[in-house]
Chain A
Amino acid sequence: MELNQDWRKLQSTFFPSAFPMRKQAMDQAGPILCIEDRGTALALFSEGGDLSEWMGAPLDEIRGHFPSRVVITIPQSTMDSSILESLGQAHLDAQVEGWRSTVVDQGAIFGVSKKSGKKAESNGSDQELVERHLQRRRHFLLDALKDSWWTKVLPSAFGIFLRLEGGNAPKDFLLVYRKGKLEQFGAPDLTFLSSDRRKDSADVVKYLADRFMLPVQGVLVREEDWNLWSEQPSPWREIAWGVQSSRVQLVPLRWGVLSILATRGMLGF
């Protein structure tokens, strides 16, 4: 497939273990998420739990039955609007982000926050509590390219070429950002290059830059390291050390890129 949105490759490259936090026991269950209509539960969700028998039940009854569980509710009309609005987004991750924002901004949270021990009978005003109870899928690189100050210093359009080495053949992945949004992602088509040129990452980066008409930064890293870092929320220090010890190679070596990596690695932002 021509590079567009290769979801499968994105998942396997950036989220090698899809659900790393699934070791928690059932008694430490996460929040109950509920889409409601006029005080009645329409749809309920709780990871690993079957709440189907509660569909159609009044919210008060559900809260009464699960006094020690956090219940986050969102009106159906709000959720429907959010889903429809999200259709303009380029891909599912961006769409999910929109839904999540809606739940955080307009959801109501009930129950006890176990961490703080604080009674949270808030009426949708405590966005922080909702945010805290909703796990978020994160990847250090995707987050940095989306939410951090990097967005202010990076060009409006650029590509990141990732080459994971270590197996029989390297695994290549290209992210294309335009106007701050991840627009295309997938394994780049390098069939126009000879097999020798394909091995040369500098040649590949140059070819991709010409083809997509944007600056491309190549990053060469061992697959084992990459998978380990992908599990961590902020492995920037290791990455910065990796660059210094040549475990991570930047192609071409741009001083600007190196400095923002170093800043993040050493100073933590």
Chain B
Amino acid sequence: MNYWEFRPTVLVERLDDLLKKGVTEVVSFVPWQAVEADISHALTRFLQAAAERKITVQLVVSPEVGISYPNSGIPRDVLAKSECLALNAEGKPCVQVSSPNSHTLPSLLAPEFQKRYQSYLQRVDHFLLDVMRRSEPGVLDRVQLVLTGSYWKYYRVPSQCLVTAFDGMAGDYSAAAGMIFRNRVEQRFSDPEFCEPSPASANRWKQKSMEEVNRRWFYQQSEDQFRTKAGHFFNRKALSVAVEQMELFSPESDPAFLYSRVLSHVSNAKADFTKLAGLVDEAATHRAQASGSSVAPWVNWGATGSFASLSMSEKQFLILKGILLLASQSGGVLVDSEEWFSLSDSFRRKAESLARSLGNGEYRLRQRVFYWNSHLWSSGGGLWDELEGRLGSLCRMIASEEALRGEEGMDADLLVVDPSLILTRSEMVHLLTWTRGGRVTAIPRSVLYTERARAELSRVTNGAQRLDLHVGVPFELYTMGEGKLVIYDSQVLDKAESLEVHRQFIQALMGLGAIKNPCVMSDSRLQVIGLERRGGGRGIFVLNPQQRALESDLIFPNDVCVEDLGQQLQNSDAGSSAELSGVSAQKFHLEVPPCGVLPMQVLDVQWEDELERRQAARLAEQADRMAESMAAGALAGWNAPNAGELPWN
């Protein structure tokens, strides 16, 4: 619920009503314009009223799209200045079709915007101090400030992202952004690592041909900085308020949905449900980082956008799909409170129990394949498309080396590095170390390595066992500890006229990493989401996005035991045992109702054994690392070995 949509008296009634219905946590956007015009201290009153009712409030303080405020809350005077507007890769304004009005997006890099944005943040901070001053101690204990990825991912060309949402080049091409881009490029390549073997070598990184590569890096870096700066601001100022990071997707406001939304409005028709459902998949496979940790993905379904035009069953489908794909990654779905309570009681109970189960970590989406791209919101090329097409939500795009360091990164089995990535020595060392832990890494034979990175790679590969292979693409295969390193020829991929080349290569990589879909449907219109269950077993969810019931076979690679999960999810002691009493078979015939989701629990002994084996390899690697770090701490003069070297040999 958005506090600014209600008058103070109504707001209090609304909070009471929500509390009565069992709501203890609400999310509200804080539109910039609402804060600047908040002479009646509506935000202060809202926080006080929520605190009195012990309701936790999450305030989204980053500028966001998809909120039903004029110009999505951006001050009109900011949008009136052409120098403050963002331009997409075609040099056109980035248009947002939204209610109550469509508008253009401002450039987050424009100096004027930055100045105004700082004063907005200060005003939010002022409101928080005001609440603290006026209220009982602890009033802000249940308040969290939420920072999001803001407009960065929406700086895209609508016509380039019609088939795949994050196709083409994303980024702000305005003059203001261009100036900062040049400065940052100069700064970056003045680093000694880029000036080898001679200082003149730095120029090769700044050539015109490197423009796209550098822009990708620049946009990613700018987004990271934007998040970090806002985070630091609040951490410094509002000391008692927790600051959370969230990656918020508003499918209705996405450029990939722009033409569809325009056409549905023109014909006064309900929105394209299939397209919206597809965008939830995209949200689940792109993972941002902030301050060294992974940012949970959320989807926002507004109350006045395309979502509102859908039928009840379509809305329910989108909510369940969002919960399955995002809550299983510590994220979730934002739904307007009125929309939520317009859904049936039984559906809400089901969705709540599913969300609770996923939120408790009972089930989680394990993404075993990572794709490291230089920019999270730009095209990942043919290899990414192939991976996403084959594995769906089992793969994840990342745009930072830090994503490999966390628990989820350590859990991945295969990493594919995009050819547009510039790799430095430290990144190369980390990649190689990561590979040694029983994983497969595919890196391009690229000119985009620094001399030090190249030297590091040569040093490690020179002594390693090498195999030359050609599966669609020529590549070299090296064995590194428990893992495997693949160096592939990206130029062959670029020149390939047929997608078959990408297909064969990805298939080969998946074979090396023992990556496979847990099961397949004989009817490709049905989608399967597989979640791993804590303590063994899996949850398999079959989704039917069609408007009619579909019959299909669910096929596993070997015999498995299957049981209905729906009932268990609604019981609080859901599935405490990994043993199932259901039928054991390889193939199951299903009928999935229109816009339906069939939940099943699966026990697959072979799969469990495979997982255990991998786990053992990872533990061994972690033990090695721990030994190294302990040695570094305890033994004076100890130097950590280079990647690929074992210190005791």
Same complex: yes
- Which of A3-11, A118-126, A242-250, A253-261 is near enough to bind chain B? A3-11
Q: How many A-B residue pairs have CB under 8 A?
A: 124
Q: Tell me whether A91 and B100 are in contact (CB under 8 A).
A: yes
Residues in B neighbouring A35, C-beta threshold 8 A = 259, 263
Tell me the smallest distance from the CB of B531 to a CB of chain A, in Å: 26
A83 to B101, CA, bound (A): 12
Partner of B101, one of A50, A84, A89, A100: A89
Tell me the smallest distance from the CB of A43 to a CB of chain B, in Å: 4
Q: Tell me whether B309 and A18 are in contact (CB under 8 A).
A: yes
Tell me, yes or no, whether B98 is within 8 Å of chain A by CB: yes
Partner of B93, one of A50, A55, A84: A84
Tell me, yes or no, whether A52 is within 8 Å of chain B by CB: yes
A22 to B312, CA, bound (A): 13
Partner of B163, one of A10, A26, A33, A55: A55
Q: Tell me whether B267 and A45 are in contact (CB under 8 A).
A: yes
A89 to B547, CA, bound (A): 36
Q: Tell me whether A92 and B268 are in contact (CB under 8 A).
A: no
Q: Tell me whether A92 and B266 are in contact (CB under 8 A).
A: no
Q: Tell me whether B308 and A79 are in contact (CB under 8 A).
A: no
Tell me, yes or no, whether A165 is within 8 Å of chain B by CB: no
Tell me, yes or no, whether A37 is within 8 Å of chain B by CB: yes
Within 8 A of A (CB), among B248-274: 258-260, 262-270, 272-274
Tell me, yes or no, whether A128 is within 8 Å of chain B by CB: no
- Which of A131-139, A144-152, A153-161 is near enough to bind chain B? A131-139
Tell me, yes or no, whether B34 is within 8 Å of chain A by CB: yes
Tell me, yes or no, whether B516 is within 8 Å of chain A by CB: no
Q: Tell me whether A134 and B267 are in contact (CB under 8 A).
A: yes
Given the known inter-chain contacts A2-B37, A99-B266, A135-B267, please indicate yes or no for A189 contacting B95, CB distance below 8 A: no
Q: Tell me whether A191 and B9 are in contact (CB under 8 A).
A: yes
Tell me the smallest distance from the CB of B253 to a CB of chain A, in Å: 13
Interface size class of A (residues with CB under 8 A): 35 or more
Q: Which of B101, B162, B547 has the most CB of A within 10 A?
A: B101
Tell me, yes or no, whether A31 is within 8 Å of chain B by CB: yes
Residues in B neighbouring A103, C-beta threshold 8 A = 266
Q: Tell me whether B68 and A8 are in contact (CB under 8 A).
A: yes
Tell me, yes or no, whether A218 is within 8 Å of chain B by CB: no
Residues in B neighbouring A96, C-beta threshold 8 A = 265-266
Q: Tell me whether A92 and B100 are in contact (CB under 8 A).
A: yes
Query: Please, which residue of chain A has its CB at the minimum distance from the CB of B10?
Result: A187
A48 to B303, CA, bound (A): 20
Residues in B neighbouring A18, C-beta threshold 8 A = 270, 308-309
Tell me the smallest distance from the CB of A61 to a CB of chain B, in Å: 17
Query: Please, which residue of chain A has its CB at the minimum distance from the CB of B6?
Result: A1
Tell me, yes or no, whether A76 is within 8 Å of chain B by CB: yes
Tell me the smallest distance from the CB of B27 to a CB of chain A, in Å: 17
Tell me the smallest distance from the CB of A180 to a CB of chain B, in Å: 18
A181 to B278, CA, bound (A): 38
Q: Tell me whether A45 and B100 are in contact (CB under 8 A).
A: no
Tell me the smallest distance from the CB of B162 to a CB of chain A, in Å: 6
Residues in B neighbouring A191, C-beta threshold 8 A = 7-9
Query: Please, which residue of chain A has its CB at the minimum distance from the CB of B263?
Result: A45
What residues make up the interface of B, taking CB atoms closer than 8 Å to A? Answer: 4-5, 7-9, 34, 37, 68-70, 92-93, 95, 97-104, 159, 162-163, 258-260, 262-270, 272-275, 278, 303-304, 308-309, 311, 547
